[in-house]
Structure 1
Amino acid sequence: MVMLVGERVPLRRDRRRINCHVRQISMYVCHVVLQISLTDIGYSFGRDRTTVGHACNVVEDRRDDPAFDDFLTSLERVVTSVFGAPGGREHA
């Protein structure tokens, strides 16, 4: 199958969007589950702390979708089991 030049742009845009969602979820989990500061997360991802705050808000808003919320809950459990909860307590 041969793609025309114009057809490549949406594919690139979709890939960037997916990468952005993955990064936002990663930032959210780092902040909410691991309790890392927005500033430290931003530094680690090469972003500003306000960008991390925005990512956390976007992910929190997406939790209204039951399927996404189930996915994120599972991810939070995995991260907690691998890294432990901050301060040695269990995260709900």
Structure 2
Amino acid sequence: MESYRAEPYRVPVTEGDRIRADAALHLAAYAFGVPAAQMLRRERTRPRACRARWSAMYLAHVSFGWPLERVGHAFGLNRATASTACRWAEDARDDDRYDAVMDGLESGLRAISELPAVDLALALGGDR
């Protein structure tokens, strides 16, 4: 008898969405003192890393104005997981310290995302 092993849920995501999701993830990692590698683990992770990842998803949702489905896809998860993460983060904003950190991260991520794109090959004077 052959065993059936379902392939993981995969949705095509643009490179730009992945880059933006990575920016949110790494900013959250820095702010909460959690290595990004812990936040990216597919197996069960520590609560602190899980909450930092949820914060990153919420950060992408509010900073970029992404719908929850897009957030989930950009982070390699489904919409329900993104929804749970954003609901937790929104509730956590009742804590003044967390709220202040998230305000700063939102401002920083928006500022970074509004910077002009630069082609480094051209900026450095050709192909180096």
Shared fold, TM over 0.5: yes
Query: Secondary structure of 1:76's match?
Result: helix
State the 1:25 CA deviation. 0.7
State the match for 1:57 in structure 2: 87
1:18 to 35, 48, 53: 48
- Residue 111 of structure 2 is aligned to residue 81 of structure 1: yes
Give, as a single letter, the amino acid of the residue that structure 2 aligns with 1:46.
G
Q: CA deviation at 1:29?
A: 0.9
More helix, by proportion: 1
SS at 2:83 equivalent: helix
Segments of 5+ residues of structure 1 without an aligned counterpart are 1-14, 85-92
Runs of 4+ displaced beyond 6 Å: none
Structure 2 residue runs without a partner (length 5+): 1-44, 115-128
C-alpha offsets along residues 34-59 of structure 1, whole Å, 9 cap, x if unaligned? 11221122112221101101111100
- Looking at structure 2, the residues matched to 41 and 56 of structure 1 have their Cα atoms a distance apart, in angstroms, of 10
Name the count of aligned residue pairs: 70
Q: For 1:67 and 1:22, locate their aligned partners in 2 and report how far apart those are by CA, in whole Å.
A: 14
Instruction: Compute the RMSD of aligned alpha carbons.
Output: 1.2
**CA deviation profile, 1:50-84 (whole Å, cap 9, x unmatched):** 11011111001000011111111111110011013
**Letter matched to residue 22 of structure 1:** A
2:77 counterpart residue number = 47
